[in-house]
Amino acid sequence: MQKPEPFVKPDMIFSVTDASALLKNVVETAFPVIKIRGELSQITRATSGHMYMTIKDAGAAMSVIIWRGTPVNFALSDGLEVIITGRLTTYPARSNYQIVASNIEMAGVGAILKMLEERKQKLAAEGLFDASRKKPLPKLPTTIGVVTSPTGAAFQDIQNRLRERFPVRVILYPATVQGQTAAAEVAAGVKYFNRAKNVDVIIVARGGGSLEDLLPFSEEIVVRAVAESEIPVVTGVGHEPDWMLVDFAADYRAPTPTGAAEAVVPTKISLIQDLDNLWHRLSSNLTTRITNARNRIESINIKSPRQMVMERAQRLDDITRTLGIIINAKMVDARRKMDAVARMPDILNNKMINLKRSIEHSGQMLNSLGYKNVLARGYAIARAADNTIISSANGTKKITSIEFADGIAHI
Residue-wise pLDDT for 218-241, tens only, equals 899 999 999 999 999 999 998 877
pLDDT in tens, 345-358: 888 888 888 888 88
Whether the per-residue pLDDT at 1 is higher than 60: the answer is no
pLDDT band at 89 (very low <50, low <70, confident <90, very high): confident
Q: Is 382 helix (H, G, I), strand (E, B) or coil?
A: strand
Q: Is 285 helix (H, G, I), strand (E, B) or coil?
A: helix
Q: Are strands 201-206 and 169-174 parallel, antiparallel or unpaired?
A: unpaired
Q: Please report which helix (H) or strand (E) contains residue 27, including its range.
A: helix 16-30
- Look at residue 78 in the predicted model and tell me its pLDDT: 81
pTM of the model: 0.49
Q: Are strands 143-148 and 81-91 parallel, antiparallel or unpaired?
A: unpaired
Q: Please report which helix (H) or strand (E) contains residue 258, including its range.
A: helix 257-264
Nearest to 223 by CA among 192, 198, 258, 186: 186
- b/e per residue 62-77 (b: at least 16 CB within 10 A): bbbbbeeebebbbbbe
User: Cα–Cα distance between 224 and 203 in angstroms, integer?
Assistant: 15
The helix, strand and coil proportions of the chain, stated in percent and rounded to the nearest 5, come to: 45, 20, 35
Lowest mean pLDDT among 125-139, 151-165, 334-348: 334-348
Q: Are strands 381-383 and 252-253 parallel, antiparallel or unpaired?
A: unpaired
Nearest to 257 by CA among 215, 320, 206: 206
Q: Is 271 helix (H, G, I), strand (E, B) or coil?
A: helix
